[in-house]
Amino acid sequence: MIYDFDQVCNRKETDCLKWDMIDTVFGEDDLIPLWVADMDFPVAEPIQKALEERVSHPFYGYTRPGKRVVDAVVKRMKDKFNWEIHPEWVIFTPGVVPALHIAIRSLTHPGDEVILQQPVYYPFFPVVTNSGCQIVNNGLKLIDGKYEIDFDDLETKFSPNSGLGSNPSRIKTIIFCNPHNPVGRVWTKEEITKLGKIAISNGAVVISDEIHCEILFDDNHHTTFATISKEFEQNCIICMSPSKTFNLAGLDASSIIIPNKKLRDNFLNIQNGMVPVPNLFGLTALEAAYRHGDEWLDQVMVYIKENLDFLIEYTEKNIPSIEVIKPQGTYLIWLDCRKLGLDNPELKNFMLKKAKVGLNDGFIFGEEGSGFVRMNIACPRVILKEALKRIEEAVNRL
Ligand SMILES: Cc1ncc(COP(=O)(O)O)c(C=O)c1O
């Protein structure tokens, strides 16, 4: 089937966070919303069909992920990432963020330290601090328009004499965003290996949030942290979900893969009774997406790539004071607005009140995000064009 992603669909009055809560979130109501990470595209037809079929069986009692769902995850890992996993390694949670909270609680005690790599997906911050832990920032470096991991700094943070990450034995884990939101890096095997070696040799477990692992541009290839070696596999918690790839964020279904039995048991002990399994529609959608969603995914990726090319060309030609940080993956684009010469409140005000677009302010991703904004380009091109035109006109009026 051929999908038409140019079609603009009305998402208003559907309890849609992106479109219905504009006023609540931004305090303005006539913005083009290009913020929260879901797509303005209908889902793949096989997913909708599977859900309709499930709805038509009017029994919505307690549910547990059955063999078919687990097998769909096992098969996806093998097919996409050449990772052979055992069914018992797979745990289901209603979203990756709840899983991160559980993971941190299972790996740390209050007062421990957790490494983040800022600028980074901002819900990671309360994940750490709500557990009474401290954030140790191993900030990414922006070199010639591309973000890199600062490995020297990472080693220093673990070093006994640094006084930076304070007591090194207190760094229990890294939340590794792989691929990285918001900077769009798809980390290479070499980078992942280097990071993992530093973490594991210092006794830290790596929580690898791989939610964006199937949204890749050009020939970029996703490497699952666990596939580097058996040692890596035994020292990680891998967070997977079809929600970004197949636009299912409202259905809250993620699979968390933990090969190490002790780590898995600790995770389950915290999850049990507190965080449920996904609801049955989430599980239905997850299975349908993994088994039958690829025709849609191939097409949506072509469309998003065209949006990206359009964005890059448009900004280079018409808004040269804004630089697109060219992503290797994710549909969340990091825009360097520092040449506009605005401080954070001014930039926020500019995008909201002058350009009338709803973006994510860069500074919420950490101090390194000052002067940046994040734009979601998973929308019909006509919406993206209108947003860019508004920004261009507002810049010209500055
Ligand atoms: C890196 C990352 N992790 C997690 C999430 C959210 O996951 P969930 O909705 O499954 O809690 C997002 C959403 O944008 C994300 O970018």
- Which residues in 135-154 are b (16+ Cβ under 10 Å) and which e? bbbbbbebeeeebebbeebb
pTM for the structure as a whole: 0.97
- Ligand 1 atom closest to Cα of residue 36: 14
Q: The domain at 59-292 falls in which architecture? A: 3-Layer(aba) Sandwich (3.40)
Residue 74: CB within 6 Å of ligand 1? no
Residue 73: CB within 6 Å of ligand 1? no
Q: Report in angstroms the alpha-carbon separations of 192 from 50, 63, 206.
A: 36, 37, 11
Given a cut of 60, is residue 165 above it in pLDDT?
no
CATH superfamily, domain 17-44+294-397, is: Aspartate Aminotransferase, domain 1 (3.90.1150.10)
Determine the residue type at 303. Answer: Y
Higher pLDDT, 158 or 264: 264
* Cβ proximity of 301 and 215 under 8 Å: yes
Query: 21 alpha carbon to ligand 1 midpoint, in Å?
Result: 19
pLDDT of res. 29: 86
pLDDT band at 169 (very low <50, low <70, confident <90, very high): low
- Mutational test site, ligand 1, from 118, 181, 251, 374, max ligand atoms within 8 Å of CB: 181
Write phi, then psi, for 332 (nearest 5 degrees).
-105, 115
Given a cut of 90, is residue 116 above it in pLDDT?
yes
Instruction: For the chain, give every domain's residue range.
Output: 17-44+294-397, 59-292
Residue 107 CA to its chain's centroid (Å): 21
Residue 211: CB within 6 Å of ligand 1? yes
Positive or negative torsion for Cα 304, 307, 308, 309:
positive
- Mutational test site, ligand 1, from 120, 121, 365, max ligand atoms within 8 Å of CB: 121
3-state secondary structure of 324: strand
Query: 369 alpha carbon to ligand 1 midpoint, in Å?
Result: 18
Structure tokens at 180: 């990285």
What torsion, rounded to 10 degrees, do the Cα atoms 174, 177, 188, 198 define? Answer: -10
CA separation for the pair 99, 95 (Å, rounded): 7
Chain segment 300-345, per-residue pLDDT in tens: 999 999 999 999 999 999 999 999 999 999 999 999 999 999 999 9
pLDDT of res. 126: 98
